[in-house]
Homo-oligomer: A and B are copies of this chain.
Amino acid sequence: MAKISESTVSRLSHYYRVLEEVAAEGGKVISSQLLAEREGITSAQVRKDLSYFGSFGRRGLGYSVEHLRAQIRAILGLDRRWRVAVIGAGHIGSALLAYRGFASQGFDIVAVFDVDPARVGHPDGALSVRHVSQLSAEDAIDIGVIATPVRAAQEVADALVAAGVRGLLNFAPRKLRVPDDVWVRTVDMTTEFESLSFALSQPHGPRRRRPAG
C-alpha cells in the first residue's frame, strides 16, 4: 500500500465518528459532500482519503453509512482490542483512567504504573497502581501512555519499549527517542496554549478554510 499521511489517518478517525453519529440518527447513505461539511473540509478530500484504501461508494448515490463505517473500522485497526498501560497516576493519568470512552472504542486500560510510594499499591479506579519497575513483556501492552513528569518521560519510554510496547502516547513536552519500529504520538498542551498565544497576538484574525465544495 502507498504511504498514508498522518493527516489522512486523522481524518479517517473523524469520518468514523461522523458515521457513528449519522448511523445513530438513522442515516443510511451519505455523500462525500455531506461528510465533508461536518468536518469543514472539501468533498474531494474525503474521496481522495478513501480512495487510498479502496472504492467504497456508489457513483450517483454516495456511501452506505454502515458499509463505510465497517470499512474504516477495519482500516483503523478497530476490529480488535488494544491493551493500554498508563504510566503516571497523577492528574492526567487518573483523568484518562476515569474516562470511560476509550474502552468502548477498543482501548482497554489494563495497567497503571507509577514510582511514587504513596500511589503504588493503592487502587486508582478499578486497577491497582503498580511500581513501574514491574512492567514487563508479560503485560503484553500494545500502547503505553506516558503521563509522567517530563524528567521521567524518556526513561519510561525506554522501559515501555523494553517491554515490547510499539505505540506510545506521550503527554510529556519532550521529544522521545525510540527505535524505528515504535510509533509515538504526542499531546503537548503547552504548545497548544502557546500556539493560541501566538495567533491571538497577531494583528489580523484567522482565515477560515473554504467550505466544503
Contact = CB atoms under 8 A, between A and B. Distances in A.
Contact of A107 (B17, B169, B193): B193
A202 B183 CA distance: 11
Interface in A1-16: 1, 4, 6, 9-10, 12-14, 16
Interface string A155-175: 000000000001111000101
A15 to B, nearest CB: 11
Interface of A: 1, 4, 6, 9-10, 12-14, 16-17, 38-40, 75-78, 82, 84, 91-92, 94-96, 98-99, 101-102, 105-107, 142-143, 166-169, 173, 175, 177, 180-183, 185, 187-202, 205-208
Given A13-B194, A92-B99, 11 more contacts: A1-B202, A6-B195, A76-B201, A91-B95, A102-B189, A105-B190, A143-B197, A143-B200, A166-B205, A180-B205, A182-B205
